[in-house]
Amino acid sequence: MNIGITVYPTYGGSGIVGSELGKELAERGHTVHFIASALPTRLTELNERVRFHEVEMLSYPLFEHQPYDLALATKMAMVAETENLDLLHVHYAIPHSISAILARESIKSHRRLPVITTLHGTDITLVGADRSYLPITKYALEQSDGVTAISNYLKQATIEHFGFDRIEVIPNFVCPTEYKPKIDCELREQLSPNGEPVMVHVSNFRPVKRPVDCVEILARVLKKTKARLVMVGDGSERTNCVHRAKCLGVLDQCVFVGKQPNIVDYLCASDVLLLPSEQESFGLAALEAMAVQVPVIATRVGGLPEVVDDGDNGFLSPVGDVDKMADDAARLLMDPKLRKEFGRRARAAAIERYSTDRVIPQYIEFYERTLKQKSSR
């Protein structure tokens, strides 16, 4: 198939999932055309099967803000024609689905271009559910030729918010050969020069991720055992994290490494992952940690209970319960045998439910089904 994929090209989870999906499809013989405002960060290599089409913005003095949605729709329609696309697969409903529907409609007199929308989270629970965006998000769902959601939780949330249930759940995935435990003594030493156990947090540091809770957890863990906190990523909450760490007197035990392209190395150099999010429709960071045998301490929200088995391969707590999360983290850090057992079970669960070999064929089958439906209409 010739598949057009649109993602936000930044560090967000939906961009990562869309990009990794494209690479996996290309490995299976399909040609993937990424249509985005910039080269997605995970697309390090372009080739005959993985192509990139940049959305060019028209600058005109009359426009205070340039109309990105229209520029995207125009590019989608153009790529569909020139590259003979079979379908468009957009990640994150706002505004990607609307642009794709516009592109489809603009060329429908002479070309069929089914649109598949994958819902990732805040496109439904926050942005889409906002009164101002609700009608257009509902329209985008209804007009898409196929809709997928990355967890059962998100499917249910979409039904509740929009009364729309024509949704296939296709979960996020992880490549077991890329995400496997490895020992990088150099990085580990760099992060923890005195050999303390390492807790890691990976996110875009938005308020919804509650990264300041990680600092609170560290301060409580340090009352029981030695530990380091490695904060990977960047965003608006970073300064609050640094400020809170100073107030609690634990800044010396924190390392802020900023955005990193090689997340897997940081996960492999750690002992537990902290994910104290207020909302998480899946929790890709949790899955990636589990795949490298790092147990997860997370909140019991959204799709996280579908990924992490509480008390078996990680621990779940109510949002904001930093005392319990610290107790659970300390328990794992102080007991290497338990940690190893949790880690082993975490990887087994990650591969069993979410390996690329299990999930990518579900997307291919969904594409084929959508293409058939469209032609029989």
Give yes or no for residue 22 binding ligand GMT (CB under 6 A): no
Residue listed under structure tokens 């007199």: 109
Give yes or no for residue 284 binding ligand GMT (CB under 6 A): yes
Distance CA 199, CA 270 (A): 6
- Point out which residues pair with 90 in neighbouring strands: 6, 117
Give yes or no for residue 314 binding ligand GMT (CB under 6 A): no
Asked whether 262 and 42 are in contact (CB, 8 A), the reply is no
Nearer to ligand GMT, 19 or 172 (CB): 172
Distance CA 34, CA 132 (A): 29
Instruction: Report 92-121 residues binding ligand GMT (CB under 6 A).
Output: 120-121
Give yes or no for residue 250 binding ligand GMT (CB under 6 A): no
Look up residue 9 and give its DSSP letter: -
Nearer to ligand GMT, 17 or 102 (CB): 17
Considering only residues 280, 288, 306, 328, which one is a binding residue for ligand GMT as defined by CB under 6 A? Answer: 280
Give yes or no for residue 279 binding ligand GMT (CB under 6 A): yes
Query: CB of residue 127 vs ligand GMT: minimum separation in angstroms?
Result: 8
Nearer to ligand GMT, 50 or 284 (CB): 284
Residue listed under structure tokens 């996110």: 203
Asked whether 290 and 308 are in contact (CB, 8 A), the reply is yes
Nearer to ligand GMT, 254 or 273 (CB): 273
Query: Nearest to residue 147, comparing CAs of 126, 128, 174?
Result: 128
**6 by DSSP, 3-state: which?**
strand
Q: What is the dihedral of CA 188, 190, 192, 195, to 10 degrees?
A: 70
Instruction: Report 162-201 residues binding ligand GMT (CB under 6 A).
Output: 172
Considering only residues 17, 21, 221, 229, which one is a binding residue for ligand GMT as defined by CB under 6 A? Answer: 17
Give yes or no for residue 150 binding ligand GMT (CB under 6 A): yes
Please calculate the CA angle 253-256-258 and round it to the nearest 5 degrees.
170
Give yes or no for residue 19 binding ligand GMT (CB under 6 A): no
Considering only residues 144, 281, 293, 356, which one is a binding residue for ligand GMT as defined by CB under 6 A? Answer: 281
Query: CB of residue 27 vs ligand GMT: minimum separation in angstroms?
Result: 20
Site size for ligand GMT (CB under 6 A): 18
Query: CB of residue 117 vs ligand GMT: minimum separation in angstroms?
Result: 13
Q: Which residues contact 213 (CB under 8 A, 6 or more apart)?
A: 274, 276, 320, 322, 325
CA-based max dimension of the chain: 69
Query: CB of residue 311 vs ligand GMT: minimum separation in angstroms?
Result: 22
Give yes or no for residue 205 binding ligand GMT (CB under 6 A): no
Q: Which amino acid is at 81?
A: E
Nearer to ligand GMT, 85 or 175 (CB): 175
Give yes or no for residue 299 binding ligand GMT (CB under 6 A): no
Please calculate the CA angle 236-240-246 and round it to the nearest 5 degrees.
150
Please identify, among the stretches 34-42, 178-186, 213-221, 277-285, the one whose residues bind ligand GMT according to the rule CB under 6 A.
277-285
Nearer to ligand GMT, 95 or 283 (CB): 283
Give yes or no for residue 308 binding ligand GMT (CB under 6 A): no
Give yes or no for residue 203 binding ligand GMT (CB under 6 A): no
- Point out which residues pair with 91 in neighbouring strands: 118
Query: CB of residue 144 vs ligand GMT: minimum separation in angstroms?
Result: 17
Asked whether 43 and 34 are in contact (CB, 8 A), the reply is yes
Asked whether 292 and 285 are in contact (CB, 8 A), the reply is no
Please identify, among the stretches 98-106, 178-186, 229-237, 276-284, the one whose residues bind ligand GMT according to the rule CB under 6 A.
276-284
Distance CA 312, CA 88 (A): 39
Nearer to ligand GMT, 254 or 325 (CB): 325
Question: What sign does the CA torsion over 272, 200, 43, 143 have?
Answer: positive
CA distances from 357 to 217, 344, 351, 360 (A): 36, 20, 9, 6
Please identify, among the stretches 7-15, 29-37, 65-73, 345-353, the one whose residues bind ligand GMT according to the rule CB under 6 A.
7-15
Interface ranges with ligand GMT (CB under 6 A): 12-15, 17, 120-122, 150, 172, 208, 279-284, 302
